[in-house]
């Protein structure tokens, strides 16, 4: 793991003042640190800082390279659930695979063109009764959405060609699970008003904005947990403490189903309409 810049700088300067030749040339006091004997504007201090930055940058690059290599190794374990999820994101709409391979010939294409062809932005793979369940979604603007029928048909054909022999695949490509929330928000009257609006005018819906922000940053196919959402809402300025009075989800044509502790969306992601977000604001004061 890469060290922080201050640690590297301290190590370099400590080694510098500890060097016997440097001590003799500069007449240094071995009981004093580098910063006690060199001003920050001296050539020596500036040089040490630039060397530290170079070392720090190199260590960051090594860490990044290691993470990339580790990711490639994990994703290339052919037939694993992670591998299937990785391969799903490599699908390029409208492009043909090289004969007898699971790779595309992208010669002549720019990185931007390749990225535009990779329409599966999110994927997750699970297993049920021996069948691999592949959840996928694309991005439309900043929102997740299902693949269009022709996109899904091409994607299914692609997966058929790259899959391991004998595996049975099933695709989940649906609109977002709908979420319904009933909340009690105990608020600070110095920051929010009785409608939940910020008194300084920065936002008229800070709590609703926070909920949607939380849903967007959930990992694809990640669980929505009561306690985690409440912890997140409590960090919103003006919220003293929140309470989830009721939470429910709706998938496809089902009715509303209560979420008691946690829920993993069947589509892989959530959406919430204004009409399904009911917030009661209760002032919380320090007066006893």
d(CA 71, CA 66): 8
Please state the domain extents for the chain: 5-74, 81-172, 177-283
For 266, other C-beta atoms within 10 Å of its C-beta total 17
Q: What is the pLDDT of residue 110?
A: 93
Identify the helix (H) or strand (E) that includes residue 150.
Answer: helix 149-162
Closest by CA position to 90, among listed 27, 134, 26? 134
Q: What is the pLDDT of residue 288?
A: 46
- Collapse the DSSP code of 71 into the 3-class scheme (helix H, G, I; strand E, B; otherwise coil) and give the result: helix
Q: What is the pLDDT of residue 17?
A: 84
Render each residue's pLDDT in the chain as its tens digit; 288 residues.
Answer: 668 888 888 898 888 888 888 888 888 887 888 888 888 889 988 998 999 999 999 988 888 877 777 666 555 556 688 999 999 999 999 999 998 888 899 988 899 999 999 999 999 999 999 999 999 999 998 889 999 999 999 999 999 999 988 899 999 999 999 999 999 999 999 999 999 999 999 999 999 999 999 999 999 999 999 999 999 999 999 999 999 999 999 998 889 999 999 999 999 999 999 999 999 999 998 654
Q: What is the pLDDT of residue 45?
A: 87
- Collapse the DSSP code of 115 into the 3-class scheme (helix H, G, I; strand E, B; otherwise coil) and give the result: helix
Question: Please, what sign has the CA dihedral across residues 250, 253, 256, 258?
Answer: negative
d(CA 211, CA 219): 15
**30-38 CB contacts, 8 Å cutoff, 24+ apart:** none
Q: What is the pLDDT of residue 97?
A: 92
């Amino acid at each position: 793991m890469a060290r922080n810049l201050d640690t590297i700088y301290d190590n370099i300067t400590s080694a510098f003042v500890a060097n016997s030749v440097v001590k003799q040339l500069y007449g240094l006091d071995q009981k004093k640190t580098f910063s006690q004997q060199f001003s920050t504007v001296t050539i020596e201090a500036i040089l040490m800082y630039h060397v530290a930055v170079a070392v720090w940058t190199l260590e960051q690059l090594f860490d990044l390279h290691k993470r990339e290599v580790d990711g490639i190794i994990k994703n290339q374990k052919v037939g694993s659930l992670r591998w299937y999820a990785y391969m799903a994101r490599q699908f390029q709409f409208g492009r043909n695979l090289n004969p007898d391979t699971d790779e595309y010939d992208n010669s002549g294409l720019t990185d931007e063109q390749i990225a535009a062809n990779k329409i599966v932005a999110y994927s997750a793979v699970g297993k049920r009764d021996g069948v691999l369940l592949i959840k996928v979604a694309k991005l439309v603007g900043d929102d997740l959405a299902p693949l269009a029928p022709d996109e899904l048909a091409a994607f299914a054909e692609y997966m058929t060609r790259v899959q391991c022999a004998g595996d049975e695949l099933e695709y989940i490509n649906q609109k977002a699970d709908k979420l319904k929330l009933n909340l009690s928000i105990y608020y600070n009257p110095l920051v929010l008003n009785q409608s939940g609006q910020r008194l300084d005018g920065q936002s008229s819906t800070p709590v609703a904005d926070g909920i949607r922000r939380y849903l967007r940053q959930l990992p694809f196919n990640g669980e929505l947990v009561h306690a985690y959402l409440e912890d997140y809402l409590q960090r919103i300025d003006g919220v003293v403490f929140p309470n989830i009075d009721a939470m429910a989800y709706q998938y496809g044509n089902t009715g509303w189903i209560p979420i008691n502790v946690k829920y993993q969306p069947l589509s892989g992601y959530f959406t919430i309409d204004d009409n399904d977000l009911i917030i009661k604001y209760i002032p919380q004061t320090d007066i006893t």
